[in-house]
Copies of this chain bind each other. A is one copy, B any other.
Amino acid sequence: MTNKIIKVAIVGAAGYTGEELIRLISGHPCLEIGCITSREYAGQHVASVFPRFSEWNLSFVEPNIDTIASSCELAFLCLPHGLAIEFAVPLSDKGVKIIDLSADFRLRDPEAYKHYYDLEHPASELLDTAVYGLPEKHRESIRSSSFVACPGCYPTSIILPVAPLLKAEVASPDDIIVCSMSGVSGAGKKVALPFLFSECRDSVRSYNIKAHRHIPEIEQELSDSSPHGTVGLTFIPHLIPINRGLHSTIILSPCRQNVTVDDIARIFHDHYGSEPFVRMLPCGSLADTKNVIYSNTCEIGFDFDPRTEKILLTSAIDNLTKGASGQAIQCLNIMYGLDEGTGLA
């Protein structure tokens, strides 16, 4: 494999997922940045936003379709939902492969998109084309796709531990309870009062508890894995004073008698025994964000509580890596037939 042959663009590169992509690409032997775009910082050197990349000969450019298309064969879209569509469609038409980190192409159902994002999807015919970029679940589709919609950070931390237990019919899909805790970088680089240091540092709070936009993609993917269809999901996200890192605690009810931890261990081993980016902990051990920050790994713990008859799952990821940019690189590696861990050591 010759180094640095795939030219990529990062559209909307001035935020945290853009920064993480630049960091990861800088250590990836086969990627070269064709352009990075930012409306706000066009014309400025990358170091004006990210001093740590001052050694790079790289400046932000205006997000122009032709400029992007002519400078890369694959574009990462790090844009707000709604705006991502405006780039994904014309770039895709010009033959540019797309890895979209926004929510615009994650849902197959345009009604769900409209309900949760309050927006009529203007390119709903593409929703079936895009592949949900969770490699552990859709690796083969990603391999042959040129349009990948990367999952949200919460969904990644939830689908990975839950899907195998639904598929194996040991856990009931009817009553899935999830409490998640996210670092503040998960809110993006949004200059707003609630995300000031002094507002966050002593704050633990849930938010959007009835209508978080990650709910429909979690439901979509878990329903997929559930032999008998739709799932009932209670999802309570929290913001806590860490920067990177996301932790989910998941409570499931067994859907049949006599589920044992050995059963669960076997199911997880079968699913994830050879996955490079899933770390199954021994039964009873508990996931910890400390073990995954700055890595692309999802750590998963499991246990069964005979007192309450609940299956207890914990998971931890870095929201910017496995929850966003690292997963995007993992998808790219698959799309190009590279070793899946390239640049993600």
Q: Give me the interface of A with B, judged by CB distance under 8 Å.
A: 16, 26-27, 50-52, 54-55, 177, 179, 181, 183-185, 189-193, 195-207, 209-210, 232-234, 236, 238, 240-245, 247, 249, 251, 279, 281, 285-295, 297, 299, 303, 305, 307-308, 310, 312, 314, 316, 345
Task: Given the known inter-chain contacts A197-B243, A287-B205, please indicate yes or no for A179 contacting B54, CB distance below 8 A.
Answer: no
Residue of B whose beta carbon sits closest to that of A284: B210
Residue of B whose beta carbon sits closest to that of A196: B195
Q: For A200, what are the chain B residues with a Cβ–Cβ distance below 8 Å? A: 197
Bound together, the chains give a CA A238 to CA B249 distance in angstroms of: 9
Check B345 against A203 for contact (C-beta < 8 Å). Answer: no
What are 19 A-B pairs at a CB distance below 8 A? A51-B285, A52-B279, A181-B238, A184-B196, A184-B201, A195-B197, A195-B198, A197-B200, A202-B242, A202-B245, A202-B293, A204-B247, A204-B316, A205-B247, A205-B290, A206-B249, A234-B251, A236-B312, A238-B249
Complex partner residue of A197 from B196, B210, B286, B287, CB under 8 angstroms: B196
Residue of B whose beta carbon sits closest to that of A290: B203
Task: Given the known inter-chain contacts A201-B197, A249-B179, A307-B210, please indicate yes or no for A291 contacting B51, CB distance below 8 A.
Answer: yes
Task: Given the known inter-chain contacts A192-B191, A209-B303, please indicate yes or no for A201 contacting B249, CB distance below 8 A.
Answer: no
Task: Given the known inter-chain contacts A196-B195, A197-B241, A232-B308, please indicate yes or no for A345 contacting B27, CB distance below 8 A.
Answer: yes
Check A189 against B179 for contact (C-beta < 8 Å). Answer: no
Check A191 against B189 for contact (C-beta < 8 Å). Answer: no
CB distance from A218 to the nearest CB of B (A): 13
